[in-house]
Structure 1
Amino acid sequence: MYPYIENIKKHPITAFFLIAFAISWIIWSIPLVIPLNTPAYMMLICVIGAFGPALSAVLIAKLLKPAQIAVPRWKNILRFAVLFCIILPFALFWPMLNGSLADPVFLLLCSILAALSAFVITRIFSRTVGVQDLMRSLGQWRVKPVWYLFALAVWPLLLILSSVIDLLYSGQSFSTYISGMESIRPLSAVILFFTILLIGGPLQEEPGWRGFALPRLQFLFNPIVASIILGFFWQFWHVPLYFTGFYPFDMADIIARFVWFLPGVLIVTWLYNRSRGSLLILVLFHASIDAFPQILPAQTANAGNIFNVLLLILAVIFVFTDKMWKKRTPVPDNSQSKE
Structure 2
Amino acid sequence: MTDTRIAWQFTALTFVIAYGISGALIIAARFGYEVNNVVTTVPEFLANVPFSIYILSPAIASYIILRRNRMVAGLGDWLKLVFFARGRPVGYLLVVSALVMYFSLHLLVSGPSVHALPWIMFVLSLPGNLIIGGMEEAGWMTALQPGLDRRWGFVVSSLVVGFIWLLWHIPLFFIPGTNHESGLINFWMFAVQIMAFRFLYGAIFTVSPRNAVFLCILCHTMFNAASFTAGIPPATWAGTIAANAAVVTLAVAAVAVSGRFAERPRGHDSRLRLP
TM superposition score category, shorter chain reference: 0.7 to 0.9
CA–CA distance in structure 2, aligned partners of residues 62 and 315 of structure 1: 31
- Which of 307, 317, 320 is the equivalent residue of 2:243? 307
Q: Does 1:65 align with 2:70?
A: yes
Is contact 1:211–1:277 with CA below 8 Å preserved after alignment? no
The Cα of 1:140 is off from its aligned counterpart by: 2.5
Out of 140-149 and 24-33, give the one that drifted further: 140-149
CA–CA distance in structure 1, aligned partners of residues 230 and 5 of structure 2: 43
Out of 20-29 and 33-42, give the one that drifted further: 33-42
Q: How does 1:79-158 map to 2 (within 5 A)?
A: 123=75, 125=76, 132=77, 134-152=78-96, 154-158=98-102
- Which of 133, 137, 144 is the equivalent residue of 1:201? 133
Distance 1:300 1:20, change over 3 A: closer
Is contact 1:223–1:327 with CA below 8 Å preserved after alignment? no
Map Cα deviations across residues 172-197 of structure 1 (whole Å, 9 max, x no partner).
xxxxx59999x7343x3212123211
CA–CA distance in structure 1, aligned partners of residues 71 and 261 of structure 2: 33
Matched residue SS, 1:29: helix
Distance 1:150 1:295, change over 3 A: farther
Q: Which amino acid in structure 1 is aligned with residue 254 of structure 2?
A: F
Distance 1:227 1:9, change over 3 A: closer
CA–CA distance in structure 2, aligned partners of residues 309 and 20 of structure 1: 29
Map Cα deviations across residues 37-80 of structure 1 (whole Å, 9 max, x no partner).
444268654332112111111111111118858xxxxxxxxxxx
- Which of 324, 336, 339 is the equivalent residue of 2:261? 324
Structure 1 portions without partners, runs of 5+: 1-7, 70-122, 126-131, 168-176
Q: Does 1:227 align with 2:158?
A: yes
Is contact 2:17–2:54 with CA below 8 Å preserved after alignment? yes
Structure 1 length as normaliser, TM-score? Answer: 0.63
Q: Which amino acid in structure 2 is aligned with residue 192 of structure 1?
A: S
The Cα of 1:152 is off from its aligned counterpart by: 4.2
CA–CA distance in structure 2, aligned partners of residues 190 and 218 of structure 1: 33
Larger Rg computed on CA atoms: 1
Q: Does 1:284 align with 2:207?
A: no
Matched residue SS, 2:263: coil
The Cα of 1:328 is off from its aligned counterpart by: 6.5
Matched residue SS, 2:261: coil
Structure 2 length as normaliser, TM-score? Answer: 0.75
Q: Which amino acid in structure 1 is aligned with residue 80 of structure 2?
A: R
Q: Does 1:334 align with 2:272?
A: yes
Matched residue SS, 1:231: helix
Partner of 1:83: none
CA–CA distance in structure 2, aligned partners of residues 10 and 267 of structure 1: 22
Partner of 1:192: 125
RCO higher in structure (CA 8 A, sep ≥6): 2
CA–CA distance in structure 2, aligned partners of residues 235 and 67 of structure 1: 28
CA–CA distance in structure 2, aligned partners of residues 220 and 165 of structure 1: 38
Structure 2 portions without partners, runs of 5+: 37-43
- Which of 39, 53, 73 is the equivalent residue of 1:48? 53
CA–CA distance in structure 1, aligned partners of residues 88 and 17 of structure 2: 35
Partner of 2:40: none
Partner of 2:181: 248
- Which of 6, 9, 17 is the equivalent residue of 1:15? 9
Q: Which amino acid in structure 2 is aligned with residue 195 of structure 1?
A: G
- Which of 207, 215, 236 is the equivalent residue of 1:274? 207
User: Percent identity between the aligned chains?
Assistant: 17
Is contact 1:151–1:288 with CA below 8 Å preserved after alignment? no
RMSD: 3.6
The Cα of 1:201 is off from its aligned counterpart by: 1.6
Matched residue SS, 2:181: coil
Q: Which amino acid in structure 2 is aligned with residue 142 of structure 1?
A: R
Matched residue SS, 1:227: helix
Is contact 1:268–1:282 with CA below 8 Å preserved after alignment? yes
Partner of 1:106: none
